[in-house]
Amino acid sequence: MAALRAEWIRIWRNPADTLATVAFNAVLMIGAWFLLPRNWLFEWTGPSGFALALAGWMYADVTATNVLAPDSERVLASLDDRDALRALLAAKAVALWMLIAPLCATIAVVVGFAEQDWLFTAVVVAAVALCPFGALAGTSLVGIFFPYHQRSLRWRWEQRARWRTVVVRWLILLVIPYGVFPAFSVAIVVVPAVLWRIVKPADVHTRIGTADFAVCVVLAVIVSVVMWVVARRIAVSRIQRHAPLADYLRDRDRG
């Protein structure tokens, strides 16, 4: 709880970091949902798919990947305490989840009220609330293996002579979350999705049945839990045993 409280304080003291990026992604997703053909970017294009898509887009940003450098002082202070390091990383994922999951779950309930399909709505809420944890843990490994410091555009322009590390590397790490989080999300749902494709009735064309969807969500939650445990162990081991990472976090001029 102490780690989560500290993370909340950090988020609200620096709204341009987490709050602004999450809100920006929400605006992008809503615009794409209503202004573009939905099958271009979304798998489930019905009303119930809105909450799932919104959650995915809001999670997919640097707030889920670059978890170390923006909070380097707390990370460095926890290097010798494995439990504190685990708590810090978990708090970052939980805080992001608390910003996104309640909103998306509420939207799912509102859609369910309009659709009058409460069982299906309950399953969607479970998917929004439980499945992202594994993907968030996996996605955070990007920032643990390849962190970057938050510096102003003016500073990066002044340091443009170091274009490989200060400009190119930063731009790649700025864009890569939009592919990494979906990749881990696909890894979570691929097993239940394949199973459903195998056993689904031949006359089902547009919408997965509620019971089938519920089974898929349960399997996805199990995969998510396993991914969470494995990714957290990799993350803590990498942070504690990789001395160059600590040196990088101590030097903001590394970009």
pLDDT tens per residue, range 198-223: 766 555 555 566 677 777 778 888 88
Helix (H) or strand (E) holding 156: helix 153-158
CB 181 within 8 A of CB 64: yes
Distance CA 235, CA 219 (A): 24
Enumerate residues 6+ apart whose C-beta is below 8 A from 48: 108, 111, 112, 115, 117, 120, 121, 124
pTM: 0.81
Q: What is the DSSP string of 93-141?
A: HHHHHHHHHHHHHHHHHHHHHHHT-HHHHHHHHHHHHHTHHHHHHHHHH
- Over residues 19-62, the pLDDT tens digits come to 888 888 889 888 988 888 877 777 777 777 888 888 888 888 77
Q: For the chain, give the number of residues.
A: 255
